[in-house]
Structures are given as C-alpha cells and as structure tokens.
Amino acid sequence: MLRDPPSCLEFSLIQRSRQGNAKSAIKRHAYEDKFGKLVVPFDRATQVTRSMSNDEYVVQEIHNILKSYYKVSRKTFVDNMCRQGVVHFLLQCEESPLALFSPIFVSRLSTTELEELAGEEPGLKRSRIQLNKDRKSLVEAMKILASA
C-alpha cells in the first residue's frame, strides 16, 4: 500500500511539505511591524490550523492521498495506453497491422496462392490459351502457304 517502504521515503517529504504549506498559510496573514519584522496576530495564526477535527483531518488526508494517486495513475495509464496500445501494437512494432502487408508477406506466398490472388479469371485464361493456340496454328498455316 501507500505506506509500504518505497512510499515511506515520500511520506517524510510529504510531512515536511505539509509544514511548509501551513507556514505559507500563516504567512498570508502576516504584516510588517514598525521594526520591519513579520508578525502575525495570534488569533489569525491559530485560525489556520484550528478548523479541523481529528476525523476530518484523517478523511482529508486520505482523500488527498487518493486524489493524488488517482491523478498520477491516470496520467500513467493514458500514457501507457497511448504508447503501448496504440503506437506500439497498432503502428510501430514488427507485428503491427501496418507491417503485415509487406514484400516479405508477398514473397512467402506460394505460386498457387499468388495465382488465386492475382491470377486472371478462369474464363479469360481459357480463352487466352485458346487464342494462343489459334495464333500458333495460323502462323503455321502462313508458313505452309509461303513455302507453297
């Protein structure tokens, strides 16, 4: 959980920053007295920290932690989605859909598969064979005629 070892390191930082926050909150009520020193009226100084009960403080604290965690994890998630889900898996990896149709893909196809894909229609093919045959025999006939 959040208070596990790695985050414990952060916790001390958090506390220090809390103090910093409190300090700056008090500082807002400060003004300079005639000797040029910053002073804060006592009732103002206590006002800043006064208003929360124990329960409220704990609730506030937990809410802060969860909210911060949410913010960070949301950013991480969006980043991961974008980088992994979209850019890597759909666009840039070796196995991406865009890389599928490539010279390698084509060269892996067998002759029959190629024939199926890009071959001429059967009817057209048949008539081509037929016409070729006709042409041959006609050429043959011309030769015979020429020699006669």
Partner 1 sequence: MKKQSSKWYDFSMGFLSDVIVMVHEFIDAALTAVCNDQNIRDALMNRLSDELIRRYQKAIANTQFLLEVESSDAPLTLNHNFNNNLQKR
Query: How far is residue 143 from each of residues 134, 138, 148, measured CA to CA in Å?
Result: 14, 9, 9
Q: Which one among 23, 57, 58, 116 touches partner 1, defined by CB under 8 A?
A: 116
User: Residue 27 Cβ, how far from partner 1 at the closest point, in Å?
Assistant: 16
Q: How many CB atoms lie within 10 A of CB 14?
A: 13
Binding-site member from 26, 45, 48, 65 for partner 1 (CB under 8 A):
65
Length of the chain: 148
Using CA atoms, how far residue 133 sits from 47, 125, 146, in Å, is 106, 12, 20
Q: How far apart are CA 106 and CA 126, in angstroms?
A: 26
**Site for partner 1 contains 46 (CB under 8 A):** no
State which residue, 67 or 133, has the beta carbon closest to partner 1: 67
Among positions 14-33, residues that touch partner 1 (CB under 8 A) are 14, 17, 20-21
In whole angstroms, what is the distance from residue 68 CA to residue 125 CA? Answer: 70
- In the complex with partner 1, the residue whose CB is nearer, 59 or 138, is 59
- Interface residues with partner 1 (CB under 8 A) are 1-2, 4, 6-7, 10, 13-14, 17, 20-21, 64-73, 75-77, 80-81, 84-86, 89-91, 95-98, 100-101, 113, 116-118, 121
